Every structure is written in structure tokens, then in C-alpha cells.
Structure 1
Amino acid sequence: MTKQTYLVTGASDGIGAVYADRLARNGHDLVLVARRADRLAQLAERLQRETGVEVEVLAADLSNAEELAGIERRLREDSRITGLVNNAGIAGETRFLEADIDHLTTMIDLNVLAVTRLSAAVAPRLAAAGNGTIVNITSVTALMPASFTATYPATKAYVLAFTEALAAELGPHGVKVQAVLPGITRTPIWTEEQLAGLDPEMVMDVEDMVDAAMAGLRMGETITIPALPNSGDLDDYLSARTALHPNLSRRQPAARYLA
């Protein structure tokens, strides 16, 4: 990979921290964003010591409008940043009938609004330069919402659709755009008790997940599902969806609605 500077959100642990590690070991400089300044500082010190890259730490809560705006300004103004990994997000949702609406609002702010605004901050500059990378971490729940809770899969479905549309728009300008759809991944978002109750064959180590995602980026994939054994299954899904297009907007209602 050509050396870039990547801004990684949610970088203090889990998927974001592993992305930071892998990007640093590929020689990329980093700007790491998360709420926990202490954890970011520890990670930055280790990566600088072990890899020699430059690592800057920005403590910010991206569900806070003012703090989000500060990261947006950095992405708009710093021409050195040519890569963005939108990883920050939260889950922890109950059934909708018992949901805490304030928690769901924060989830939407972080999982949807922050991803959109950070992408919007950097995309025009990358397109004008004719290069750059945007990676959005979504989830396999985007493809199976009825199997989970209501709001979290909906936020991830937004990120998937957003990323596909962004790839179509920015690809001709030389910008790589990728959606990564992890399944159950061994990160702090899960407790050990929760993981112990799952089939171990369903749980991927976070290092393996990120390594697969980065391989997918190198392969030029717009959608990467690290656990999917046969990529042809995704191709079939996308082809079936595309086959609907000619009949999704027509002058008359379908005959079944006219009886």
C-alpha cells in the first residue's frame, strides 16, 4: 500500500484498535479518535515505539455535535489525511417495546449521523485529489434485521446502503470505498458470559476479522463479509436485487392490488 495518513474512529479498543495496529504495521501514519484519551495514548505510544509511524490522538465523543464538528474540521482541512475508517458505534439495544429512547437516539447519532458527516467532510477533498480511502464498518445484521433488535440493524443497513451509493459516486474519482460487515466478533462489545453462550464456530477473533477486511480492500471489494465462505452467494444476492429494478417504479399498481 502507498503510505497514507488514516483517521480511525472508535480506535481505543476492539476493531478500531486492531485497524490502527494493522495500518501502522503497513507504514501508515494515524490520527486516532475515541472518547477514552488514556487508552488512545497507550495505543499511540505502543504503535509509535513498535512501528515508527506518527500517531496523533484526538479524544472526542462523536455523539456530541460540538466534538463531532471538531473532527469534521480536521478532515476537511488536513490534506495529509487520505484515509478514513468509520468504526465508532454502539449496540446494547433491548427489544423495542422496552427500549430506552435516549440510548437509541445516541446510537443513531453515532452509528448513522457521525458516519455521514465524517464522510461528507473528507469526500470532496479526496475526490478532488483523485485518491483516498473510506472504510465504513457496518454489520451482517444489515442483511438480516428480523433476526435481531429493531434499531441497531437499521443503523447498519443505512451504513451499507450509504457506502454502496458512495462507492458508485466516488469510485470514478479514484476513491476507494468499502463496507465491512462483521458477524459476531470477539471485542469488548460482548461480555465473556455472552460469548460463552454462543456456538464458538460463530465467533471470529477480531484480528482475523480485520485482516480479512483489509484483504478485501486490497482486492477492490465494495462489500466485504469476512465470514462468508462463498463470495458467489453475495453476488447472487446483489444480482437478485438488481433484477428488481425495472419493476420497482411503474405507471400502474401491480395487478394484485387492483382486484
Structure 2
Amino acid sequence: MSTPRNVQQLFDLTGRVALVTGGSRGLGLQMAMALGEAGAKVVISSRKAADLEQAVMTLQDAGIDARWVAADASKPEDINRMVDETMERLGHIDILVNNAGATWGAAAEEYPLEAWDKVMNLNVRGYFLLSQAVAQRSMIPRKQGRIINVASIAGLGGNHPMMRTIAYNTSKGAVINFTRALACEWGHKGIRVNAIAPGFFPSKMTAGTLAAVGEEQMAAHAPLLRLGDDEDLKGATLLFASEAGKHITGQILAVDGGVSAVTGG
């Protein structure tokens, strides 16, 4: 029987390699920061090299071993290149954070097909293709891996009346069951798959909704009477990425100030 580890040892990610999509800002950068602070080597990806360079500087200034790969996580050829470049540089991938996402606001009865396809291709198809590529090339051969999908409380229930985001909500509902299905299929291969479902965090993606509804009004819907901040995803990220969560898979953790408890999501 192995010697029991203390809490610091269970959360330690020293020697691990993490790939984080949508990692140049917002929730992705926060999650990358958490993984790096726990000792992981971090590769972040998004479409814009300039944003990635700035984000890597931020991570490196915090003492994190960080690098970047510019790629569009909705395109199969970019996904394959992202995985290839990460493997070439660091040898393997222990932790995958599927965070890159898109949204589009329009009334459901007028929702453009191209907008629906854009959201679904990145938020659902992209998660599947990247998970598949990382599993095939690194996690399944090594019989270990952790996949963290970023869902949303928008995928747990219906919608706020002022949020006309039918494709986004649908895609995040799909991510939730994708997480459960993949966890069931890959558990015996040593791969844990979980999802974080954030509530409202100020970000570029939520700026329009927060402007329309108002930050104070949105915060008032949460039992904790606050929106998420630059630290609130760190704990959940480390739990799912580390040995502290080694007996957790197929789970969806809402980090939302209690909003889903009120709505029953």
C-alpha cells in the first residue's frame, strides 16, 4: 500500500503538462495560471498570436513555465497542429482544458444558420476533436489523463429572458452530457473527464449581457450576491487536474455563487 500523501502533495502538478484552449484571457488564462502555480508546464492556445504572447508574459512573470500555440480550435487541421506542436515541445499532455468558446446573440426565430454552426463547431465539435486527438496521441498510450471541459450554468437550465443565446445554451448542454459520456467510456483507460459550469464572470464574452442586464442586477440573482472573479475557478481547476480528484469523473461542478441552486439547474 502506498504512503498516504498530504494535501499539498495531492494538489501538486509538478512535472505535468497542461494544454489550455482559449487561454489568452479570461477564464482560460485564470485556469492556466492555476495549473502553472501548482507546478504544471502550461501551453495556451487561441487564434491571435499577439494576445498569446502577452498572456505568456503574464504567466512567465508569475514564475510559470509557459508557451503558446496559435490555432483555431474549431478547425481540425489547427487542432492536429496544436497537439503535434505541444507533443513535440513537451513530449506528452497530461491535462487538457477545453475552454475556447463562442457565443452569438439573436432571437431564436431569427437565429442565423451560420451563427449556429459557428457556435456548435467550436463549443461542441472542437471539444470532441481535441479530446480525441489528445487521447489518441498521449493519454490512452500512457493510460492517464485529465480532461476539463468548460461548460456553463447556461447548459443546466433554460435562459435569462434577456439572453438570446439559443446556440450557446444548447452547446453547453451538449458539453455537459459529452463530459458524462466520455468519462464513462474512457474511465477504464485511466482518463478522468469532468466539467466546470461557471456562472457569470466579467469577460469579453459576457460583456454584452452584463451591459444589457446590469452587473448589480445579475449579481443579485446569486445567493452570494456577487459575480465570479479572477480567482474563483482556480480551486475547481486544480481539483479536477490533480490527484486530489483521482476518484472524481463524469461530474459537473457549478461555480456560480449559488445561482443554479436557486434555479434548480
Residues 242-253 of structure 1: pairs in structure 2 closer than 5 A: none
Percent identity over the alignment is 27
In the alignment, structure 1 residue 39 sits paired with structure 2 residue 62: no
Residues 1:120 and 2:132 aligned together? yes
**Cα distance change, pair 17–230 in 1 and its aligned pair in 2 (3 A):** closer
The more displaced of 34-43 and 171-180 is 171-180
Within the candidate set 32, 40, 57, 2:68 is matched to: 57
Query: More helix by proportion, 1 or 2?
Result: 1
Which ranges in structure 1 are unaligned for 5 or more consecutive residues? 238-259
CA distance in 1, matches of 2:61, 2:100: 25
Per the alignment, residue 131 of structure 1 pairs with 144
Q: Which range moved further: 172-181 or 207-216?
A: 207-216
- Which residue identity does 1:95 align to in structure 2? A
8 Å contact from structure 1 (residues 9, 85) kept in 2 = yes
1:144 paired residue number:
157
1:86 positional shift:
0.2
Instruction: For 1:25 and 1:74, locate their aligned partners in 2 and report how far apart those are by CA, in whole Å.
Output: 23
Residue 102 in structure 1 maps to residue 102 in structure 2: no
TM-score normalised over the length of structure 2 = 0.77
Q: How many pairs align?
A: 233
Matches within 5 A, 1:7-18: 7-18=19-30
Cα RMSD of the aligned pairs, angstroms, is 2.7
- Structure 1 residue 72, shift from structure 2 partner: 4.3
Contact 2:34–2:238 (Cα < 8 Å) also in 1:
no
TM-superposed CA distance for 1:215, in Å, is 5.4
Asked whether 1:223 is paired with 2:236, we answer: no
The one-letter amino acid paired with 1:174 is G
Displacement of 1:197 after TM fit?
6.2
SS at match of 2:125: helix
SS in 1 for 2:230: helix
Whole-angstrom CA distance in 1 between matches of 2:74 and 2:108: 21
For residue 41 of structure 1, report the CA deviation from its aligned partner.
Answer: 0.6
Higher Rg: 1
Residue of structure 2 in register with 1:246 after alignment: none
Counterpart amino acid of residue 130 in structure 1: K
| Cα offset, 1:123, TM superposition | 1.7
- Larger relative CO (CA 8 A, sep 6+): 1 or 2? 2
Deviation track 1:182-233 (CA, whole Å, cap 9, x = no partner) reads 11222221225244363324452242431242255244362211237599x7
- Report the TM-score when normalising by structure 1: 0.79
**Given that residues 60 and 68 in structure 1 are in contact (C-alpha distance below 8 angstroms), is that contact kept between their aligned partners in structure 2?**
yes
2-side partners of 1:102 and 1:39: how far apart?
Answer: 26
Matches within 5 A, 1:18-37: 18-37=30-49
Q: Partner of 1:193 in structure 2? A: 211
Q: Does the 8 Å contact 2:199/2:257 carry over to 1?
A: no
